[in-house]
Amino acid sequence: MKKKLTPKEKNHYRTLETREIIPEFICNARGKEEYEDILTESVFKVMFKDGTEPAFSHPLHNNKEEGIYYCAACGQPLFGSEAKFDSGTGWPSFFAPLAPECVDFEEDYFLIMPRTAVMCSCCNGHLGHVFDDGPAPTFFRFCMNGTALNFKK
């Protein structure tokens, strides 16, 4: 079930581009079967079989270097280091993507609690979840799997 963000939710970060220059990207997504062949088992599991890495397991959770985080499957630029913050959760956390178009949302359920899953808008790979307890300026917390991201300085 696709979840559409409410207009109020969207306004929080609709106009927010966290970086002045976003690397150019042309989406050329492959099929899930192809990704199974080219991605490592752990990346495929998180991104295409709704897996979640254990908290504090991925080195990117406390990465503080300046750079860009790319989709581990298709290479789309997704998040900038300037939007990263230390959430204490053990997962890389951002208050906004590089641009609103980078991600899609879908409602899923954990036990009986509805949550909003975040996917890469190009390859539809699962990245993590978004919560509304983040810091200013958006008050969103994009809680991502480090496994689904590639960092480049």
Contact residues toward Zn ion (CB under 5 A) are 71, 73-74, 76, 120, 122-123, 125
Active site residue 143: yes
Catalytic residue among 74, 102, 122, 143: 143
Q: What separation in angstroms does the CA of 92 have from each of 14, 48, 83, 84?
A: 21, 19, 11, 7
124 versus 139: smaller Cβ distance to Zn ion? 124
71 versus 96: smaller Cβ distance to Zn ion? 71
Which phi and psi angles does 57 have, rounded to 5°? -90, -25
Q: How far is the CB of 119 from Zn ion (least distance, A)?
A: 8
Q: Which helix (H) or strand (E) holds 43?
A: helix 41-48
Q: How far is the CB of 71 from Zn ion (least distance, A)?
A: 3
Q: How far is the CB of 4 from Zn ion (least distance, A)?
A: 20
Edge-first strand order for the sheet with 93-94 is 84-85, 93-94, 141-144, 126-131, 113-120, 103-110
Active site residues: 143
